[in-house]
Amino acid sequence: MDKKIGFIGCGNMGKAILGGLISSGLVPAGNIWIYTPSPDKVQALCEEYGINPAQSAQEVAQIADIVFGAVKPNIMLKVLSEVNSDLNKDTVIISIAAGITLETLAKVLGHDRKIIRAMPNTPALVNAGMTSVTPNALVTPEDVADAVSIFRSFGQAEVVSEAMIHPVVGVSGSAPAYVFMFIEAMADAAVLGGMPRKQAYQFAAQAVMGSAKMVLETGTHPGELKDMVCSPGGTTIEAVKVLEERGFRAAVMEAMVKCMAKSELLGKS
């Protein structure tokens, strides 16, 4: 990709994006600029990745074709307002701040700006992220393709409408927390059965990762894959029976409904 990429802020998620870009070779390190208020952090990132330091957020805005707003949501609008006049006409601004709508971003940047709202999740930190990409009407198909390519450099990415942001929060943004709880619970049971804890986490986590990979790579319905494991009168169907009796699927669905409702409420506020 022959574009200049700029980062304003670079927390964990910003660093995941930066690392994905570099490791995939999608963007040369010499085409990336970064600014954070901490000179030591800028220096460390530049030494680690071979990228360019910027002296200010305004400098990033002036140089980059694609600018990532990678600061905390509570200061995102302030930071963008401060660099708005330095952005080029065709610059694409990508916000990864949760809860900030395209309309709110446009009120700060102007309704003539190309803006993308993106929502990666924490597995991006291990190159296994899932990111939603939501462009406004001014973003061109080429710009969208570039954004999707960037996010696919450290996982998977799909274009979604802004109306689907709340389901994205429930099924992707917040979902790692539910999965971590499931892994922890399975490991606790294995420990109860006598397995050393470190080994229990390894078995549980690998089972979850492998199962997810089967869903993605086979295209087979999860219910059918579940049935393949459930031998008549066997151990698995016994466990499935208990999960059904305890309302496992209903609990997951209700948790996600609450999560989506909270996301919608935060978006309005």
Binding-site residues sit at: 8-13, 36, 70-73
Residue 259's closest CA among 182, 176, 136, 186?
176
Residue 76's closest CA among 62, 96, 59, 102?
96
- For residue 197, give the H/E element and its range: helix 197-218
Angle at which helices 12-24 and 39-49 cross, to 10°: 20
Strands 5-8 and 66-69: parallel
Rounded CA-CA distance 5/18 in Å is 10
By the 8 A CB rule, do 8 and 60 touch? yes
At 21, the amino acid letter reads L
- What is the helix, strand, coil percentage profile of the chain, to 5? 60, 15, 25
Annotated binding site for NADP(+): 8-13, 36, 70-73
**Degrees to nearest 5, angle at CA 33 with 29 and 37:** 135
3-state secondary structure 223-245: HHHHHHHCCCCCHHHHHHHHHHH
By the 8 A CB rule, do 34 and 53 touch? yes
